[in-house]
Structure 1
């Protein structure tokens, strides 16, 4: 009888033991495990072992798991001797038995037994136990195995949490090796190799190799599990948000996914050019990959909406009837012949060629002359859509070209916004107040307009937001401005300037009768047949209550008359059937402007009437000069700009150079002080228009000769007495006629402009073109100064 040595004492091993074949299990010494035994051969072996005094049996692993009736050739020759700790019989005949591993044994040979396996065995090793710390290498391997198994147990869910700490207290390395081997979750062949290890060192080394491998696999699995858990959390969150979005869509009556389908159909069926459709498809593909609630998804969606909303090829059916257009323009505006002719020319050309590169018109004129409303009438005459964009105060280039999509709240510029509102590629696009563009560190919007208004470039206009070429060549751009001075020169070069100088009094009367009074009468509820406005009353309002080139203030005064009449009707007073001149003062109060009265010729000494151009139209400019005893000091007052100061000094120098011809002492300037003043000093005045006016007033003051009363002058003077041409002749002429002037002295270089003046102006004024100041004095003074008799006249300056 052999003996198996254990730390808790030797165990006597019988020569022959009943054998139980195990499927998918390798039993190790020192393990206590419950087993279910149900096969007849195994039950018979268990019964024999239970009846014996020792209660021992041999547990061996099968080669093949699927073998139901294993024989000696179907099992391994090395197994574990186990002791029966507890055995119970279950209702179905199966035995539940708790076994404790005693030690390893080798089968010497199998003995014949009917219905069961029985084997003669011997201990697998002569001595299995190693003394603590008897081998440094074994001790190092044992510690490494314990450390690795602790990590293995922490990573593996099927290992009990209290197992790993107990292994640290095990000092028997053989027992340690068997416990670790038994609890590793390995395939039976690998466990069988561990069971058949010849020495404890070999078993520990094999355990270290297997644990290293399993730990690497477990770490990878843990990493993958974390990634999967993270992805699952993200997916769950996205699923939750998508479910919320679907619920919102259901509440709104929109099925989930319907929005993407609608977008795709809109892109495919939309009237887009190839480059725009390709860009839209690319952005839609990006949008599908994004979470619908992501901020970038909203940006892309807005971008797609803009691409789909812009007109790429839709055009208005133009009305190319010149007669119809003429009737429409005449019906909406009185006067403005030059503008109307230009529009009719454009329509006539379009009727012949059917396509014309969009011109850029610039309507320049004072406030209230109807520039903005004229743009709307142009659109009606052409049968096009009308779009208006106000540029007053715009200082950011992005307002024209749009913002980059990287900025929060980015939008296309005002040009593309206007095109979207129009819905066509050929609207009439009004750029209002283009002379009031500002510029600062945000950029120069005037420079950004260069591409918009250049016929050679606007066919490929690119907005920063859209980042696609957009064709503006079919657009009829109409700009408005009060003055050309505020428009940058490169921008002005791209526009065809049409001036609107203002309305004559006769034109204003027609405007009142046809437009202003009917509109104000209806607006205030007076009725078409209630009250009429007489022509004399309209003339009184025009001449005594307004002084303007346009009709804006006139419209306000007409509105006051309508309000007063509406109030009287409410109070029960009888309304006159026709408002006459005598009613105007009662309704509007004392007039602020009175008709000019003839001046005493003595009061005209040192005074001259000048003509000036302002952003509000032409104005009469009075220049006064006083000569007092002094020492040659010259004073200039009246808030004069640099140009007018230079003109005053040039006039004085010319007078000194012509002293003898003018009947003055050559050194007169040393004995007098000259004071040049222009009334209304609070109003800044500048510009090259008052040179000859100052010279006439100065000569009048020096010689004592009065200036002609009904003569107004405009022109610039040089040191040699030449008269240079100036601008604004049309506006100045209208102002002269409005203020009762009968004769206008103007530079000879401006004579061709007389032919372009309205007939009423040419009939009501006498124009005197002049080349030199000598010619000016002949007309502007009541008589020519007498040369100094003591000296020969100085020769005239070369002309």
Structure 2
């Protein structure tokens, strides 16, 4: 079939747009067409006996049909055959005859295009012959590297001398992008076209060389891996024959033997899970990446001391003896601990298995350094059970307690399971340190897990995510510690029995230092008792002037500092055989004193009152000051007060104003500011004018320290009353109590710490709420009660009678 058999060009003929393939004039190729416009173009060409032009869509324009979506040079040819396919598409056999250029395309009639044929430009035959020789050589190189290159193509181009046909043949088999293929297709300058084809072939040759090098390297690595694998298998087979390859088998046997021994004590799901993982490991190749993870899991499980229990029976006598041996004072906490274990001993003796008693949790609450963890150590020694300490302070990740799932990288059991492993016992004493400092984050709420751990109804089936089975924690004796019980969630509080450990008095600190701290620190520093002397007065001076705490931790550090210097002196000064530390040379060892609480003032003052405060490190004396300024009755508050304390100050201000109005507080006429006219007329003013004509500024010193709470209510009321009526406040009286609008004094907390602070400050009298006087005085150390005149107050008027001079 030739062009001469059809109408001459240029002419309008049907247009077919292909998405992928470039066709050439020499080709007879099948086309699969699905678009309606392409099918219409084919049907028109067959019906009218017309030629068609096949063009190619531009990159990213597939499926579109406008003037810019396809290339304007294509192949003109005829449809030899058409076959309809079941899915609505058609298959046509197309024969290319010549290259054609689309001169005009009407988007309103997209099935047709106005086309003219194109012919290559004239060329220099001698130059072309040389280029064809180079081209043939490059094609042969490419065919040697590329196994998929058509073998008969080389023969075809060797037998053909038409440069255009040769270029078309080679272009049709090159792997190039669509834009590059179009440049080779539409180039009419034969010389330029051949040069471009040569450049493309050279690039392909280089590309295939690199690919072959990479493939060879990869194959060599694979071959090496296979070779190593087969060699290892052969070695294993040889070792097996010789009876020497039994390491893995021996490990599996050991695991199975351990598991069999633990079976009576393990939970059923735990035994089943562990056996399953051992079987899985036995079938797994030892070089598999999962094998080491699986082996780690099995070893972790088999390390858990299932069935191992401390056999020593609970003895209250032993507990009391150990507590008295290790701790001075703390009578009430010791008694509570003894009662707790008395119940356990009784249940054990009578063979009563009380599940609820097994998991009850003691929680020691108190300031740092008062001996909370030390009490847990004593319990552990008295019961002859191992001690496990779990620090909960700042913990935010719930998986720290519950364990990580084995699907995560670096997964491990929770701290509780690791604690049991470390203790090598299923019934240790487990200290949950700083339970009030558990955090909450996007990783969960650890306090929610603690509910399950500490609940005797649930902790016998505590599920660790790493183990993937439940373990029994009901026989563990849990002991928690906290600085502030108010920060513990209410649901968690309900699981615990609180034992409060308050501040130590100076006398208690002296006995603790003499009987415990000094002997322990001497031993730690390698010193003999005869080598360091320290009088009672020196120890009392250190306690009074060099420590600021409710407990004795900082006191221990002070002794440690002294004994380090003493050890150095004994070593460097050979003539020194004994180091004497006394009040005269104490400054040399410890530098200047640090006063914990300022002693009571020796002079009464107007507008200065001694309040008592509770802090996380013990009690403190809080001086509250006020001044009055000419104004309109405004109350200003400073000193870093919290919202509750600010409310308490406003209540105090209102109560004092009511008392002035009722005449309960007498205000002299001479202190009420008068205008010149009132002075001249000698006008007698109402007492209420004193708080209407004065602004009051109330301040609590140490503004950098946050303060909050209602217990300074009566103290602020006395301060305001003192400044308004210009009466002095007794300097040797301290007070604490919450004040209501009706003038009632309500009870407060932390009484022991507050009274100890007043005792240290050498106060003479302390005013406390009546209810505290009735119920809390028995907890106050005898030496404090002996040194202080403790008076109960029920109303603000009682307070004012005792304080204003």
Would the TM-score normalized by the shorter structure come out above 0.5?
yes
Residues 1:246 and 1:308: Cα distance change in structure 2 (over 3 Å): farther
Residues 1:598 and 1:551: Cα distance change in structure 2 (over 3 Å): closer
Greater displacement, 296-305 / 239-248: 239-248
Tell me how far 1:537 sits from its aligned partner.
0.7
2:367–2:502 Cα contact (<8 Å) kept = yes
Q: 2: CA distance between counterparts of 1:245 and 1:496?
A: 61
1:316–1:384 Cα contact (<8 Å) kept = yes
Instruction: Identify the match of residue 794 of structure 2 among 768, 771, 779.
Output: 771
Q: Indicate the residue corresponding to 1:185 in structure 2.
A: none
Residue deviations 1:702-753, cap 9 Å, x none? 1222222222211111111111222111222222222222322222232301
Tell me how far 1:645 sits from its aligned partner.
0.8
Instruction: Identify the match of residue 582 of structure 2 among 555, 580, 583.
Output: 580
Tell me how far 1:234 sits from its aligned partner.
10
Tell me how far 1:596 sits from its aligned partner.
5.1
Tell me how far 1:765 sits from its aligned partner.
2.8
Q: Indicate the residue corresponding to 1:501 in structure 2.
A: 502
Instruction: Identify the match of residue 353 of structure 1 among 337, 342, 347.
Output: 347
Q: Indicate the residue corresponding to 2:249 in structure 1.
A: 257
What are the equivalent positions in structure 2 for 1:72-151 lying under 5 Å apart? none
Q: 1: CA distance between counterparts of 2:596 and 2:379?
A: 38
Q: Indicate the residue corresponding to 1:759 in structure 2.
A: 782
Residues 1:247 and 1:335: Cα distance change in structure 2 (over 3 Å): farther
Residues 1:652 and 1:274: Cα distance change in structure 2 (over 3 Å): same
1:393–1:438 Cα contact (<8 Å) kept = yes
2:601–2:732 Cα contact (<8 Å) kept = no
Tell me how far 1:549 sits from its aligned partner.
0.6
Greater displacement, 323-332 / 476-485: 323-332
Q: Indicate the residue corresponding to 2:632 in structure 1.
A: 631
Tell me how far 1:238 sits from its aligned partner.
5.4
Q: Indicate the residue corresponding to 2:130 in structure 1.
A: none
Q: Indicate the residue corresponding to 2:770 in structure 1.
A: 748
Residues 1:346 and 1:240: Cα distance change in structure 2 (over 3 Å): farther
Tell me how far 1:507 sits from its aligned partner.
1.1
For the residue of structure 2 that corresponds to 1:581, the secondary structure is coil
Tell me how far 1:269 sits from its aligned partner.
1.6
Q: TM-score, normalised by structure 2?
A: 0.65
Tell me how far 1:445 sits from its aligned partner.
0.8
What are the equivalent positions in structure 2 for 1:638-653 lying under 5 Å apart? 638-653=639-654
Q: Indicate the residue corresponding to 2:536 in structure 1.
A: 535
2:600–2:761 Cα contact (<8 Å) kept = no
Residues 1:551 and 1:562: Cα distance change in structure 2 (over 3 Å): same
For the residue of structure 2 that corresponds to 1:384, the secondary structure is coil
1:246–1:255 Cα contact (<8 Å) kept = no
2:272 counterpart of 1:278: yes
Q: 1: CA distance between counterparts of 2:446 and 2:333?
A: 27
Tell me how far 1:594 sits from its aligned partner.
8.1
What are the equivalent positions in structure 2 for 1:272-671 lying under 5 Å apart? 272-354=266-348, 356-572=357-573, 574=576, 578-593=580-595, 599-602=601-604, 604-659=605-660, 660-664=663-667, 665-671=687-693
Tell me how far 1:244 sits from its aligned partner.
7.4
Tell me how far 1:327 sits from its aligned partner.
2.2
Residues 1:595 and 1:550: Cα distance change in structure 2 (over 3 Å): closer
For the residue of structure 1 that corresponds to 2:728, the secondary structure is coil
Residues 1:442 and 1:628: Cα distance change in structure 2 (over 3 Å): same
RMSD of aligned Cα (Å): 2.8
Instruction: Identify the match of residue 715 of structure 2 among 693, 715, 723.
Output: 693
Instruction: Identify the match of residue 723 of structure 1 among 706, 722, 745.
Output: 745
2:704 counterpart of 1:712: no
2:359–2:455 Cα contact (<8 Å) kept = no
Tell me how far 1:690 sits from its aligned partner.
0.9
Q: 1: CA distance between counterparts of 2:762 and 2:441?
A: 45
Tell me how far 1:239 sits from its aligned partner.
5.0
2:543–2:555 Cα contact (<8 Å) kept = yes
Tell me how far 1:310 sits from its aligned partner.
1.3
Q: 2: CA distance between counterparts of 1:687 and 1:579?
A: 42
1:565–1:575 Cα contact (<8 Å) kept = no
Residue deviations 1:586-615, cap 9 Å, x none? 32233222885553434x211111111111
Residues 1:765 and 1:476: Cα distance change in structure 2 (over 3 Å): farther
Counting matched residue pairs gives 551
Tell me how far 1:643 sits from its aligned partner.
0.9
Tell me how far 1:254 sits from its aligned partner.
6.8
Q: Indicate the residue corresponding to 1:168 in structure 2.
A: none
Q: Indicate the residue corresponding to 2:706 in structure 1.
A: 684
Tell me how far 1:523 sits from its aligned partner.
2.8
Q: 1: CA distance between counterparts of 2:498 and 2:609?
A: 32
2:600–2:762 Cα contact (<8 Å) kept = no
Tell me how far 1:264 sits from its aligned partner.
1.2
Greater displacement, 576-585 / 460-469: 576-585
Q: 1: CA distance between counterparts of 2:704 and 2:636?
A: 17
Tell me how far 1:391 sits from its aligned partner.
0.8
What are the equivalent positions in structure 2 for 1:171-210 lying under 5 Å apart? none
Residues 1:287 and 1:571: Cα distance change in structure 2 (over 3 Å): closer
Residues 1:244 and 1:337: Cα distance change in structure 2 (over 3 Å): farther
Tell me how far 1:248 sits from its aligned partner.
12
Residue deviations 1:548-599, cap 9 Å, x none? 1111221122122212322332332636565333232332233222885553
Tell me how far 1:366 sits from its aligned partner.
0.9
Tell me how far 1:343 sits from its aligned partner.
2.4
Residue deviations 1:370-424, cap 9 Å, x none? 2122211111111111000111111111111111111111111111111111111
Q: 2: CA distance between counterparts of 1:508 and 1:719?
A: 41
Tell me how far 1:246 sits from its aligned partner.
9.4
What are the equivalent positions in structure 2 for 1:166-245 lying under 5 Å apart? 239-240=230-231
Residues 1:595 and 1:479: Cα distance change in structure 2 (over 3 Å): closer
Residues 1:247 and 1:726: Cα distance change in structure 2 (over 3 Å): farther
Residue deviations 1:222-244, cap 9 Å, x none? xxxxxxxxxx9999875555567
Greater displacement, 283-292 / 631-640: 283-292
1:568–1:575 Cα contact (<8 Å) kept = no
Q: TM-score, normalised by structure 1?
A: 0.65
User: What residue ranges of structure 1 are gaps of 5+ in the alignment?
Assistant: 1-164, 166-231, 783-799
Tell me how far 1:509 sits from its aligned partner.
0.8
Greater displacement, 573-582 / 660-669: 573-582
Residues 1:455 and 1:377: Cα distance change in structure 2 (over 3 Å): same
Q: 1: CA distance between counterparts of 2:295 and 2:532?
A: 58
Tell me how far 1:287 sits from its aligned partner.
2.1
Q: 2: CA distance between counterparts of 1:253 and 1:580?
A: 74
Q: 1: CA distance between counterparts of 2:422 and 2:541?
A: 44
Q: 1: CA distance between counterparts of 2:601 and 2:563?
A: 37
User: What residue ranges of structure 2 are gaps of 5+ in the alignment?
Assistant: 1-151, 153-222, 668-686
Q: Answer with 1 or 2: which has the greater Rg.
A: 1
Q: 2: CA distance between counterparts of 1:578 and 1:699?
A: 53
Greater displacement, 678-687 / 592-601: 592-601
Q: 1: CA distance between counterparts of 2:437 and 2:282?
A: 45
Q: 1: CA distance between counterparts of 2:656 and 2:555?
A: 43
For the residue of structure 2 that corresponds to 1:257, the secondary structure is helix
